[in-house]
């Protein structure tokens, strides 16, 4: 290292090729959100002092930190886009997880960004690494699920704990992070927290407050399910009551955050009413509890809103403030509906009446249960 060289503390993973991948023309999962996010990062001047890296291909041996050899062999046979009825055993060839040409390569490369981010945090002075084409939290050891083929999060976390790091995993995707839960359900080296729309209403139908781990992991798996229609106020109440005390007690070396954007009120596949205001406050809270953060994308099916939320996540964790250099310029870039162009932020949104009362009552019951069952294990 030559004199005067200052290592980059923020790392962003971007691949033009990955951003162009499609599961199918009609599939809701769109990697192109990463390109939209890159456009916004440039627009708002957020990439200064950032190391931008291409996603490397994950080495096959690392897949077995979480996945079974049989499943990986089945996934490899899908690389040329050919369907075999036996692949359904592994969740491959379904509507959610179609077989398309290059699916194995895509999964390896997307996961490679998350893994390299973890490695950089572990071995260098980097403090924040973000992979928008990552966060495949539904993939299970032996099958694909919920648009997810390889669980990059579980692999990266297994690597970090093998290196001796104490890790917290926080999942703010609207869907329960069931694959990551299954990876560490009996392990107290990772504190796993997922806040999501209740499985009563939404895939994957799991993630209830009584799923708190087993064996050594008992009390280290925390779920905060919320009723559909929940708004910022209720979401923040539940999050603030549970997450800061647990993080303060656990004291992680590295926090891994899956920042899915589908909790947003305008997402077409879910039913929460989070806005950018609540989303950003949650991220600011998380940042207080670790000097190193590994971030990934995840869900988010309103493409512009998801890219905007991820841009706020980048801004928060990288410690840089958005400045819109195109505001008011005729012919400036438009990234979504015109009313949204020129701002990453939403106007405040609140629900009321009986719906508000019901959502709040449900959240209070969940919070009370966790405080009663989980907090004593952490001496809170």
Active site (catalytic) residues: 138
The answer to whether 78 touches 99, Cβ cutoff 8 Å, is: yes
Give strand ranges (E) for 182-274.
190-197, 221-226, 254-258
| Closest by Cα among 178, 217, 160 to 298 | 178
How many CB atoms lie under 10 A from the CB of residue 59? Answer: 10
Q: How far apart are the first and last CA of the chain?
A: 45
Q: Spell out the alpha helix ranges (H) of 149-196.
A: 152-162, 178-184
Backbone angles phi, psi at 148, to 5 degrees: -120, 125
Which tokens belong to 318?
A: 């990288």
CA 65 to CA 293: how far, in whole Å? 21
| Closest by Cα among 111, 79, 108 to 92 | 79
Secondary element (H or E) of residue 295: strand 293-296
């Amino acid at each position: 290292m030559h004199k005067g060289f200052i290592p980059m503390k923020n790392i962003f993973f971007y691949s033009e090729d990955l951003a162009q991948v499609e599961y199918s023309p009609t599939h809701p999962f769109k990697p192109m959100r990463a390109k939209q996010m890159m456009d916004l990062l440039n627009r708002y001047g957020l990439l200064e002092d950032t190391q931008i890296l291409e996603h490397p291909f994950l080495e096959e041996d690392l897949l077995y930190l979480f996945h079974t050899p049989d499943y990986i062999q089945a996934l490899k046979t899908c690389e040329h886009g050919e369907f075999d009825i036996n692949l359904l055993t592994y969740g491959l060839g379904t509507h959610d997880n179609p077989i398309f040409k290059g699916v194995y390569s895509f999964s390896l490369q997307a996961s490679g960004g998350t893994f390299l981010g973890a490695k950089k945090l572990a071995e260098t002075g980097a403090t924040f690494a973000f992979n928008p084409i990552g966060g495949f939290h539904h993939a299970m050891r032996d099958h694909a699920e919920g648009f997810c083929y390889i669980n990059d999060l579980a692999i990266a976390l297994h690597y970090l704990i093998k290196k001796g790091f104490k890790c917290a995993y926080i999942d703010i995707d609207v869907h329960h992070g069931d694959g990551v839960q299954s990876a560490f359900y009996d392990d107290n080296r990772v504190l796993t927290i997922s806040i999501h729309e209740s499985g009563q209403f939404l895939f994957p139908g799991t993630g209830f407050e009584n799923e708190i781990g087993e064996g050594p992991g008992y009390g280290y798996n925390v779920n905060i399910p919320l009723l559909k229609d929940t708004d910022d106020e209720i979401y923040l109440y539940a999050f603030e009551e549970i997450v800061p005390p647990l993080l303060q007690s656990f004291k992680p070396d590295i926090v891994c955050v899956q920042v899915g954007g589908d909790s947003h009120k305008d997402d077409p596949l879910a039913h929460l009413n989070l806005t950018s205001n609540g989303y950003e406050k949650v991220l600011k809270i998380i940042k207080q509890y670790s000097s190193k953060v590994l971030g990934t994308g995840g869900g988010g099916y309103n493409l512009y809103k998801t890219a905007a939320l991820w841009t706020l996540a980048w801004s928060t964790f990288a410690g840089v403030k958005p400045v819109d250099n195109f505001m008011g310029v005729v012919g400036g870039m438009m990234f979504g509906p015109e009313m949204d162009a020129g701002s990453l932020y939403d106007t405040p949104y609140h629900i009321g009446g009986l719906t508000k009362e019901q959502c709040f009552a449900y959240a209070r019951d969940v919070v009370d249960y966790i405080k009663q069952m989980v907090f004593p294990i952490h001496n809170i």
